[in-house]
Amino acid sequence: MTEPMRHVDIETMPREKLEALQSERLKWQVKRMYENVECFRNRMDEAGLSPKDIHGVEDLHKLPFSYKSDLRDYYPYGLFAVPLTDINRIHASSGTTGKRIVVGYTKKDLDNWADCLVRMLKAIGIDKSDVIHIAYGYGLFTGGLGVHCGAEKLGATVIPISTGNTSLQIQTLVDLKATVLCCTPSYALYLGEEIERQGLKDQICLKMGIFGAEPWTEEMRKQIEAKLGIKAYDIYGLSEIMGPGVGCECEAQAGMHVWEDHFIPEIIDPETCEVLPKGSVGELVFTTITKEGFPLIRYRTRDICQLNYEKCECGRTHVRMRKPQGRYDDMIIIRGVNVFPSQVEEVLLKVSEGNITPNYQIVVGRENNIDTLEVNVEMSEELFADDVKSIERIERTITENLRSMLGIGAKVNLVNPKSITRSEGKAVRVIDNRHLV
């Protein structure tokens, strides 16, 4: 496999040369996985394929898919492609829905990961003069250490504060003069609320924020930017593929560039599994072509996405992915209708007008064998002090807009300010109580 090129060369490489590089790396990866990963070899054999049948990216569609269930079935090290003695670091999921997902990185993998983060930071104008406040979780979660190592490689100053202790977070932002904030978007909003409440906005030196690890809408971006007085940028990553930095926005903010010299994205029909034409909306699939420790071929992310292969105005040629519309795993089926939390959030933020906050929860239940849907939304302090008729009017407006968006009715409850539990990590947006009936 060829050595990495300079950022300026690889990020603006003509597509035909980029695809030639991908082909070379794909063939290398398929061969080594066939030799070292039992699960992949078995699926290749079942399909009647050998590494010699893969000549380049044009043959990618022939290869078998990988699934999240594989990571649990072969827990903990069954999908590693190198001996454990070659693994320098291990990360893992929380395991809240079953066995945790374990991923491993060689020294080369960690170097490549940090390199992807350096590209990301440079793409939005961050340099070694910046002070980066990292409030993603550290430890087994990939978020904190992933951004941390890239920021250090860039030469920026890093504040590894991790999650929790909001008062300390705000004091640190004021005292240490961070210019960049990294955390989940829901926590960024919470920090903005608290900073505003304490009257400290003019003492914050932030100029931009890098937010990911959970879905968020363009309306939420506007709210974050207004509350913190910053420019908010989107990133994409998942532990199975690498962690944060698989995709990121540039200063043009016209989609998130995927670093295609490391990852090949596809869009498939989630039902037929066929590759869809360019520009189609479907399920996002990734193939890692440089990962040594924990490579994956055609991994089904379950994210609903769209890819844009046109050259970006920033000059980069790497494909851009739209913000995922949601995950098939997060989709709630209510009375036969597919509902995504992002749809609810979009409605709420559009009708906000300072009357409601971005804090909400969707509660799904069942009465008399019929699914019920409630949306609890926090009022602003101003609305809480207003008259009952104003509150009822806004509840009706939200109810009508949700029915128009979703096609089904929902009971909307405006609840007291600060009554919905805040999260310092990923926000809990959906409570499904149907299993209790």
Task: Determine what percent of the chain is predicted with pLDDT higher than 90.
Answer: 72
Query: Do 185 and 224 belong together in one domain?
Result: yes
CA–CA separation, 181 and 399 (whole Å): 35
Stretch among 154-163, 356-365, 378-387 having the lowest mean pLDDT: 378-387
In terms of domains, do 379 and 245 share one? Answer: no
By percentage, how much of the chain surpasses pLDDT 70? 95
CATH code, domain with 415: 3.30.300.30
Are the C-beta atoms of residues 49 and 63 closer than 8 Å to each other?
yes
**E strand or H helix that includes residue 431:** strand 430-432
Specify the CATH number for the domain of residue 299: 3.40.50.12780
Q: Of the ranges 9-18, 234-243, 351-360, which one carries the lowest mean pLDDT score?
A: 351-360
Domains: count for the chain: 2
Q: Answer yes or no: is pLDDT of 384 > 80.
A: no
Q: What is the average pLDDT value for the chain, to the nearest integer? A: 91
Average pLDDT of the residues in 196-207: 96
Buried b (16+ CB within 10 A) or exposed e, 318-348: bbbbbbbebbeebebebeeeebbbbbbbbbb
DSSP tag of 422: P
Number of other residues whose CB lies within 10 A of the CB of residue 225: 16
pLDDT at 205: 98
Instruction: Please give the model's pTM, rounded to 2 decimal places.
Output: 0.81
Looking at residue 171, its pLDDT comes to 98
Q: pLDDT class for 425, splitting at 50, 70, 90?
A: low
- Do 343 and 401 reside in the same domain of the chain? yes
> Could you give the residue ranges of the DSSP H alpha helices within 74-141?
107-123
User: Of 310, 329, 348, which marks where a domain is finished?
Assistant: 329
pLDDT at 6: 57
- Across the strands, what pairs with 263? 288
Give residue 195's pLDDT: 96
pLDDT class for 272, splitting at 50, 70, 90? Answer: very high
Question: What is 17-61 written as a DSSP string?
Answer: HHHHHHHHHHHHHHHHHHHH-HHHHHHHHHTT--GGG--SGGGGG
Query: Is the pLDDT at 243 greater than 50, yes or no?
Result: yes
Residue 115 has pLDDT above 90, yes or no: yes
Q: Which pLDDT band holds residue 340 (cuts at 50, 70, 90)? A: confident
Average pLDDT over residues 362-382: 88
Q: Say what the pLDDT of residue 430 is.
A: 87
Domain end marker among 306, 329, 352: 329
Confidence of residue 420 (pLDDT cuts 50, 70, 90): confident
Query: What is the model's pLDDT at position 346?
Result: 82
108 shares a domain with 50: yes
> What pLDDT is recorded for position 203?
97
Higher confidence at residue 263 or residue 421? 263
Residues 283 and 353 in one domain: no
154 and 69 assigned to the same domain: yes
The verdict on 313 and 337 lying in the same domain is no
Q: Quote the pLDDT of residue 159.
A: 98
Q: Which pLDDT tens digit goes with each residue over 143-191?
A: 999 999 999 999 999 999 999 899 999 999 999 999 999 999 989 988 9
Q: What angle do CA 92, 94, 99 make, to 5 degrees?
A: 80
296/349 same-domain check: no
Q: Are residues 208 and 339 in the same domain?
A: no
Q: Which residue has the tokens 């199975």?
A: 240
Question: b/e per residue, 279-303, with b = 16+ CB within 10 A?
Answer: eeebbbbbbbbbbbbbbbbbbbbbb
pLDDT at residue 328 tops 80: no
Residues 210 and 353 in one domain: no
Whether residues 211 and 339 share a domain: the answer is no
Which of 134-148, 230-244, 404-418 shows the lowest per-residue confidence on average (mean pLDDT)?
404-418
Q: Is the pLDDT of residue 61 over 80?
A: yes
pLDDT, tens digit (0-9, with 9 covering 90-100), for 75-104: 999 999 999 999 999 999 865 555 789 999
Which range marks the domain in which residue 257 is found? 1-329
Q: Are residues 362 and 317 in the same domain?
A: no
Last residue of a domain, one of 295, 329, 363: 329
Task: Give the per-residue pLDDT at 369.
Answer: 76
Average of pLDDT values for 238-247?
95
